[in-house]
Each structure stands twice: as C-alpha cells, then as structure tokens.
Amino acid sequence: MRTAPGLPIAQRLAGTSLMGMLVAVVTLAIGVGGTRGVRDGLVAAVIGLAAGVVVVAVRRWFIVREARTRLEALRESVPDADAVAVRSTLAVTASGPVERDAAGERRKPGRSFQLLTLDADGFELRERPIGGPQGSVFVPWAAVEAIRVGSADFAEFTERAILIAADTDQGAFVVGLAPVDDHTLLLRPTAEHEYLNLMNELIRRAEAIHPLSQGLSPR
C-alpha cells in the first residue's frame, strides 16, 4: 500500500505481474533471437506477450467468478442497502484483523472482496457470510487515526484505494479499501465520484468523534 499526492488511476496491472511478464518476454526474445535471428526473436516476444495477457485474463476471470459468488452471499447476509462492495487488504482471523500478505493474497485472492457497512459507531468489514463475529471485523470511529488517498496491491492489479490507519483493542493496522461496482461483469472499480463520496463519508464520521492525523502509521 502507498499514499498518493493526487488521485491514482483506478486500476493497473500489479508491479509483480508486469515484471514477471516482461522478464519472460525478454528472456524468450533473447533465447529465440540468439539462435534464429532478430526477426524470429521479435515474433517470439510478441507471442510471449500475448500469452502473458491471456494468462492474466484467465486468472482474473477465475478470481471474479469466486468473488461474485462471495459478494452475492454477503449481500444476502447483510440487510443494509447502503453496504459497499470493496477489495480489502485486511484478513479476518480468529485472533482478529491482520494485514493480508502477498502470499495470502495470491493463495486466496477471492477473500479480498468484502462488504463494507457504516453506522454511527464505526465501520464493519465482512469477509464471510457465515460465522457471526468471526466472519467480520468492526472498527469504531474512535479507533480510526488517519484516512488517506492511496493505492493497494492485490493478486493481479494495483487499485485506487482508501487507506485507513486504526488502533483497536485487537491491534493496530492499516487497511486499504478499493470500492468496486459489483453490478459490473468484471467487478470494476467504482467511478471517481463514488470513490471520493465514500472517502469523504468515512472522514466525516471519523472526525465527528476526534480530529484525524495527517500521518498514516497507526500509533
């Protein structure tokens, strides 16, 4: 996760995915070009790049299929018409909320799709439609220390996110929330004005309790 001075683009290929694709394409081009000539090397590079794009697209399709099923079940379990579908960097565990690491994101990318609800006392992120409190984490507004514009890395993309630093009874953490439109086929990021409206609402509710810090690291 990283803060940004301005509004980041909604979605771009994650750095790890892009780097892996470039390394594979360059290696293929050099290998083929060294034995068959420059022309065949360039052709091999183009084919390799196309294959990489297909791999990313197929992986994205599987992630979206799982995520759509999860979000539909979450909406059935949460009777709040104002709930917002998000991709979240926070994982819900038996011991409390933890920041999801890269390995966990690659292993179970569908779990980053969660449902965000707001009330007068705080916000809830629900990861699983069953399991009661163990399937969600509740963060009181009093525990929120900072809210910033930024971006967060997920399995295949880096997405525009709202970064929230909080210090709760279960520990301190920074969570990145990337709101998505679960009415779209590929669960695209929400429009810019919807992103800003959600962020402003989070700030408004938190600042009604206490002033927010300009820094992002939770104390």
- Measure the CA–CA gap between 11 and 163, rounded to whole angstroms: 16
Task: Give yes or no for residue 47 having a pLDDT over 60.
Answer: yes
Classified as helix, coil or strand, 167 is strand
Residue 217 inside a domain? The answer is no
User: Using one digit for the tens of pLDDT, what is the confidence trace for 127-151?
Assistant: 987 655 568 899 999 999 999 999 9
Asked whether residue 219 carries a pLDDT value surpassing 60, the answer given is no
Q: What is the pTM of this model?
A: 0.80
- CATH code where residue 139 lies: 2.30.29.30
Q: What DSSP character marks residue 156? A: S
Is residue 149 assigned to a domain?
Answer: yes
Residue 218 lies in a domain: no
Q: Quote the number of domains for the chain.
A: 1
Decide if 219 is inside a domain.
Answer: no
User: Containing domain of residue 76, as a range?
Assistant: 2-207
Residue 50 lies in a domain: yes
pLDDT, tens digit, for every residue of 159-201? 999 999 999 888 889 999 999 999 998 899 999 999 999 999 9
Mean pLDDT, the chain, rounded, equals 83
Question: Beta 144-153 vs 157-168: how paired, if at all?
Answer: antiparallel
Q: Token pair for residue 74?
A: 């979450």
Task: Answer yes or no: is 125 within a domain.
Answer: yes
